Amino acid sequence: MTELKCPPSGAAQDRGLVVCMEALIALSRVFSAGGENLDKTLGSLSSAYGLWLDERLGEHPEDREILHQLTKEQEGEEPKSLVYEFNRLFVGPQSPPVPLYESVYRYSENLVMQESTLDVRQWYRSEGLSLAGRSNEPDDYIATELEFAAYLLSKAVEEYRKDQPQQAKIYKDKYNTFYREHLAVWLPSFVETLSASTREPLFITLGKIILRVVRPV
């Protein structure tokens, strides 16, 4: 999938989509870049979440506390301990307690490459996208789903800036449908599993941010 670049905020009509897109991209990269790059990706997430929060100032006062927690926990922990915990939770070498794939949370067999995986693949193909360089990950990998959601918002932003509000609405509707059919179905279970499995408060805060940011537009 093409690496997304965030356009600068423009008119008020698309600014909310831009900050949401930036936050989704930052979340995606926390997972795709791996534990060894947490210092960079968590810093980017703090910045993106802060911008997302500024756009919604006053709507949810607890968001400011979540941002404070993320910054405090990131600075207060030894980087090596966070890398170790990331790998223990999501990678291995033993079977990770928090798999990063939608199908695991949707089916009782707890297996990857189930029906939802194929449906997500069809979503990507419908937009002419392929998983270049990610053939080792199933299509319903969390980072890819989040990046795809950001892609749909980026297309809406493009259409707004071409003064095509009806086309922009089509992409917003696609985003909301993808959210409803996939992200909203499994991410709450993923966050619940993460919160119950982690030994580091930072990952509990990461789960809170996922549930706040990944939402309808």
Please compute the mean of the pLDDT values over residues 139-151 and round it to a whole number. 96
Which residue, 11, 9, 29, 31, is CA-closest to 20? Answer: 9
Beta-carbon neighbour count of residue 140 at 10 Å? 26
Closest among 100, 95, 122 to 112, alpha carbons compared: 100
Would residue 5 count as lying in a domain? no
Bridge-partner residues for 92, per DSSP? none
Question: Above 60 in pLDDT, residue 150?
Answer: yes
- What pLDDT digit, counting tens, does each position of 177-195 carry? 999 999 999 999 999 999 9
The total of other beta-carbon atoms located within 10 Å of residue 81's CB is: 12
Flag whether 193 is in a domain: yes
Structural domain includes residue 1: no
Question: What mean pLDDT do residues 33-47 have?
Answer: 95
Query: Does a structural domain hold residue 62?
Result: yes
Domain assignment present for residue 75? The answer is yes
Instruction: Provide the residue range defining the domain that includes 126.
Output: 13-213
CA distance 130 to 103: 19
Confidence at residue 113, expressed as pLDDT on a 0 to 100 scale = 58
d(CA 91, CA 199): 15
The domain total for the chain is 1
pTM (predicted TM-score):
0.90
Which string of DSSP letters, residue by residue, matches 122-178?
Answer: HHHHHTT---TT-TTS-TTBHHHHHHHHHHHHHHHHHHHHTT-HHHHHHHHHHHHHH
Separation of CA 66 from chain center:
16
156 pLDDT band, cuts 50/70/90, is very high
Average pLDDT value over all residues in the chain = 88
What's the pLDDT at 170? 97
pLDDT in tens, 90-138: 998 889 999 999 999 987 655 565 678 889 999 999 999 976 555 578 8
> Does residue 162 fall inside a structural domain?
yes
Residue 180 sits in a domain whose CATH number is 1.10.3480.10
Q: If we measure between CA atoms, which residue out of 161, 136, 126 comes closest to residue 18?
A: 161
Nearest residue to 146 (alpha-carbon basis) of 110, 178, 194: 178
Asked whether residue 4 is domain-assigned, the answer is: no
User: Which is more confidently placed, 76 or 210?
Assistant: 210
Residue 96 lies in a domain: yes
